[in-house]
Amino acid sequence: MALTGQDVLNTVNKLPLPQKIAVIAVAAVLITAGNWYFLVDPKLTEITQKQSTLRTLEDELIQKQSIANNLAQFKHEKEVLERRLAQALTELPNEANIDDLIKSLSDIGIKSGLTINSIEPQGEQRQSFYASIPIVMSVTGNYHEIGVFLDALSKLARIVNVTNIKMNSAKVQNDKLIVSASYVATTFRFLPEAPKPAAPPGAAK
């Protein structure tokens, strides 16, 4: 026959005092262990898991805040690089644009007071990543006008190197000391990397 709670209490009451204390102590331990196993331990496990998740989210938040804080700097650096690229392409363009350059040389010469005798572009000379394009020019004017012209060329956005300057003997013309000069104005252009030809169908990769 199954024992009721009252039967258990009656049995315990009949025990000597030391045994009663031992039974109560064992019961207290069992109750505490049961509470720990069924109530406290699952909650601690849940708390530990949530703390781990919270730390992960905090780390992600710190990383995203760092990216957000540096976003303005990244944008500024990107703009600086884009300006440098635009400047580099101005100095060393992809296209020759010889007609535009010849017009610029002629306009600068005329504004400097020179008479443009001839402007003759030569063949393009290719190097590893750039090509040089020499332009032979012949002009007439005084020393000051030639100096002004050469100074203006040095200030062009596009790179133009002047070499092989030759001047004839000066002569007086209309009360001016005039010389005829010839030189080579060399400009450059960037050679973009040629696209690789597509592999034929079925070719081994």
54-76 pLDDT, tens digit each: 788 778 877 777 777 777 776 76
For the segment 78-111, what is each residue's pLDDT rounded down to a tens digit? 676 666 655 555 555 566 678 888 898 899 999 9
User: What is each CA distance from 52 to 48, 58, 68, in whole angstroms?
Assistant: 6, 10, 24
pLDDT, residue 157, reads 79
Average pLDDT over residues 40-61: 73
For the segment 133-166, what is each residue's pLDDT rounded down to a tens digit? 898 999 999 989 999 998 998 888 788 888 998 9
Q: 17: pLDDT confidence band, cut at 50, 70 and 90? A: low
Whether 152 and 107 have beta carbons less than 8 Å apart is answered as no
Task: Answer yes or no: pTM beyond 0.95.
Answer: no
Q: 36: pLDDT confidence band, cut at 50, 70 and 90? A: low
